[in-house]
Amino acid sequence: MKKFIFLLSFSILFQSCFSYKTVDYNNIAIEKKQKFEVSGVGGKNIKGRLVSKNEQLMILKNNGQLQEVPVSEIYEVKVRKFSILKSFAVVAGPVVLISLFAENILTGVNPGG
């Protein structure tokens, strides 16, 4: 059982949790090649890694395909960032639950009564 808990916590530990933060189009650094989510005026969302941008066009690469988004059609631009809080919750939550119910599972006792 200890090996199972170790394996489960190890696999969860190396998962990463990300969230998206809204940024101003003019303040985007091209050199970083970050991942973005672009919300278009028509309600279309496009995710991808930034290839290039200028005053008229933003080019993102997603699954090997280049997608061009005209700046005039961009409603909102979000950059992907790592979330420490979400990662901690994903790692700590299952470990705490497993450790609370581990003894009941081993002895065959139903935790609900």
User: pLDDT per residue over 52-107, tens digit each?
Assistant: 888 899 999 999 999 898 999 988 888 877 655 555 555 566 666 666 666 666 66
DSSP 8-state class, residue 63? T
pTM for this one? 0.56
DSSP H or E stretch at residue 97: helix 84-107
Nearest CA to 64 out of 48, 80, 40 is that of 48
3-class SS of residue 103? helix
DSSP H or E stretch at residue 8: helix 2-13
Hey, what domains does the chain have and what are their CATH numbers? 18-89 (2.30.30.100)
List, in sequence order, every beta strand (DSSP E) within 1-113: 18-23, 35-40, 45-53, 57-62, 65-70, 74-82
